[in-house]
C-alpha cells in the first residue's frame, strides 16, 4: 500500500509541476512582482486556524501556510478555494 501511495504522490507532482514551499512573506513578495497576479486562497475561519495560499510565477507554483491572513495587493485576482491539497 505504501508503494501505491508514493506512486500516486509522484504522479500528482508530475501533473502539478514544481511546487515551492515558502514563508508567507516570500509569497507576498512573489505576488507583488506580478502585473496580473492570481492567488488561490483556502482555510482560515474560526475553526480551520491556518490560511493557505498559492500563486504561480515563471513556471513555478509557490505555496505558503500562515496563521494570519496575508496582505494580497488589490490588483490580484483572488480565488477562494474550499481546500488546497499539495502532494508531499
Describe the chain by its helix, strand, coil percentages, rounded to 5: 35, 30, 35
pTM of the shown model: 0.77
Cα(16)–Cα(14) distance, integer angstroms: 6
Q: Which of 32, 21, 17 is nearest to 70 (CA)?
A: 32
- Read off the pLDDT of each residue in 46-52 and give the average, rounded to a whole number: 76
Domains and CATH numbers, the chain: 2-80 (3.30.720)
Q: Residues 15-40: pLDDT tens digits? A: 556 899 999 999 999 999 999 999 99
| Burial class (CB within 10 angstroms; exposed 0-12, middle 13-18, buried 19+) of 88 | exposed
**Run of H or E residues at 54:** strand 51-57
Whether 47 has a pLDDT exceeding 70, the answer reads no
Amino acid at each position: 500500500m505504501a508503494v501505491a501511495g508514493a506512486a500516486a504522490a509522484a504522479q500528482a507532482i508530475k501533473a502539478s509541476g514544481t511546487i515551492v514551499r515558502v514563508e508567507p512573506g516570500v509569497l507576498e513578495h512573489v505576488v507583488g512582482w506580478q502585473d496580473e497576479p492570481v492567488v488561490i486562497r483556502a482555510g482560515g475561519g474560526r475553526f480551520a486556524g491556518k490560511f493557505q495560499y498559492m500563486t504561480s510565477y515563471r513556471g513555478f507554483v509557490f505555496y505558503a501556510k500562515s496563521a494570519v491572513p496575508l496582505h494580497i495587493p488589490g490588483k490580484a485576482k483572488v480565488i477562494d478555494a474550499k481546500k488546497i491539497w499539495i502532494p508531499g
